[in-house]
Amino acid sequence: MNTPPKAELHVHIEGTLEPEMVFALARRNDIALPHESVADLRAKYEFADLQSFLDIYYANMAVLRTAADFRDLAAAYLDRCAAHGVRHAEIFFDPQAHLKRGVAMETVIGGLCAALDDSEVSASLILCFLRDESAESAAEALRLAEPFLDRIVGVGLDSAEVGHPPSKFTEVFRRAHELGLRAVAHAGEEGPPEYVREALDLLGVQRIDHGIRALEDPELVERLRREQIPLTVCPLSNVRLGAFAELGHHTLPRLLEHGLLVTVNSDDPAYFGGYADENFDAVRRELGLTPEQLRTLAANSFRASFLDEDGKAAFLAEVEAWTP
Ligand SMILES: Nc1ncnc2[nH]cnc12
Ligand SMILES: [Zn+2]
């Protein structure tokens, strides 16, 4: 599979927890699992919607206890990036899901950073707030992260979308901006186009994660085009969570035709059947994207990143030099 060098801007590190690692960490931490085998666990990865995925995603996370667990998780993801042409990664993590289980912020960030510091892949961390938890809980997570702000590039917003509009988190995003952090938010994955507008206008985000439902609102599409707001689209995720019946029905080509700054990402690759390179290959195969469109998607990923201008230029030269 030959795909261009790329950045991954939408991956949840907890979503890279492969079933084999669930079992290995359960053994290491002496945790009993309600699954007979790796195959038994994997057989449960049939999702009707976002919530049915989130239920098992949060349950599996219970095996992550120590800094070494978080290090090993991130190291496995970054090794895979290095082997498959992901040159830069901006990695989401969900600290509230760990704090709740008694795992300290320092354990989570310390473990993840041990892997980042050891990797040849350029990488940074984005702290996500869980939108189905309270705004106070999000503010507490940000407060606990303040000693580690030099290790975090930005904040994000994820988990169950419908019924949890961005407006709920205006105050904590205001605080994040005050602390000098960048901001992104999941919006328009299952939620309405209005949530995309709120994320832009109330949270001041620089990218929209998913954003696929924006297409229902022509004025919003025009704004996304005019302002070149990046969308981090996750094709295999959208199919596995039921937004599209099959990949051949995905609206990625329409987003590109509208002139939007679209990127392709994996979201939760251990659950959705493919890492970033496999998402690139799948859209090439199933949507007939041309090598030049793949090059555009890869160039967009660096343009939309939080790298500095020199960093972007160096990676963009690699994309330009790629031969299909
Ligand atoms: N696709 C997704 N949407 C919202 N929250 C998530 N957390 C992990 N994956 C997610
Ligand atoms: Zn996501």
Residue-level pLDDT at 284: 97
Query: 112 and 70 in contact (C-beta within 8 Å)?
Result: yes
Q: What is the pTM for the complete model shown? A: 0.98
12 ligand 1 Cβ < 6 A: yes
6-304 classified as CATH 3.40.50.20: no
For residue range 270-307, list pLDDT tens digits in order.
Answer: 999 999 999 999 999 999 999 999 999 999 999 999 99
Ligand 1 nearest atom to the CA of residue 94, by list position: 7
Q: Which amino acids are annotated catalytic?
A: 189
131 ligand 1 Cβ < 6 A: no
Q: Kindly identify the ligand whose nearest atom is closest to the C-alpha of 272.
A: 1
239 ligand 1 Cβ < 6 A: no
CA distances from 14 to 43, 200, 245, 247, 268 (A): 19, 26, 25, 24, 8
Q: Name the closest-CA residue to atom 10, ligand 1.
A: 159
Q: Name the closest-CA residue to atom 6, ligand 1.
A: 159
Annotated ligand binding at 186? The verdict is yes
Residue-level pLDDT at 30: 98
124 ligand 1 Cβ < 6 A: no
Ligand 2 centre and the CA of 323: distance in Å? Answer: 30
pLDDT at 1 over 90: no
For residue range 9-24, list pLDDT tens digits in order.
Answer: 999 999 999 999 999 9
* Nearest partner of 166 among 208, 224, 227, 122, judged by Cα: 208
